[in-house]
Chains A and B, each alone.
Chain A
């Protein structure tokens, strides 16, 4: 048991310093906030709070509860940002599968169909389409994929007359400043604040979410899986404990180190083919890789993440952190100030309290050049 994923698992049930030391990355080794486990659903301990749920704690004296519509992201509060709709929601589109399953959100950056979205969510734009607020759908043509930024510039084929966002500077934003974004595939507004310092997020490659047997017996040709992380790429793909990995992305693997090397240099969101032996039968599956940090930090599953975490949640040159309640499928959408200036694109849902957005300064100058080059491709020069 040696690869980093292995070391990690041992530590997961009991987060401690060892876990920090071993992983060498930003690893949450935090107290779990006490989760209330209600043991018997309808038991009330009179004069005892031991197993009381927050809701039953008030059994004796009914206490007023703020109705959902008046909460921070309830509709009554959100009515404050209704006037921003033309500048935010109307400049957003939904990227969906050909069957209509929402994949992620796109920010419209050109009236002639140019849009930006989160690259790792859409490895294959041929298998996706875009749906606009007015119900129109269109095929997508990939213009530029920038792995470093996890952005993809695409053009909705044959679409014109779109409303593009208006970008403003993200630099002057300060901690506590309100931001507004779009949820539910660009249908609804959400608000939150700039919640931490702007910074670079280092990356640590991709992972499958498996523990491998360091000492796979010689007679076994391959690497035996001895543990699978909950909700990890491996689990989603159907890999199981005791499966023996034979090839990864076409390459024969005889040693756990090799598996680690092959996977780690790939990008989160990438799909790789895995051939394996289960009960003496050779089988194969396609695994969609995730950020290594995401896998390690959520080994036991994404509890309390409220809707999941983006496959790629790290390795960004610079991010704005905010607390707008969003889902992975909301990534790729715009984040704006209350003046309606778009200051970034949501790029990763990280955990229960964190969403990262790429600030406009990190991508817009480049993206404009990509659009320009695509609109006016260089003419062929005849060499004499």
Chain B
């Protein structure tokens, strides 16, 4: 008989990391919703506005990919820092995609919240017990 694999705390953490990573595309499109931004501004916006784990070496290839797909467009703009910066802005297709993804996200999020409601009640009970 095979031995059961003992779940480790890392398993849940890894799942959380994957969940955050999977949201990165929508997060970038959302960051660009109001204004054009350059790479580092996008990274700082994501870090400040969310708990997303953003690895710099992933964001730039992803931006490049979004540009290839026609969801964002880019332009080099001179800056006061002494070097030009590559700014990204949403295209019409990118805005459309961002809205579609947000709808899907909202639907999925609502159904998952409903699904895990009993677990949330359990967590609330535990929290009440822990309070002195």
Our verdict on whether A and B bind, yes or no, reads no
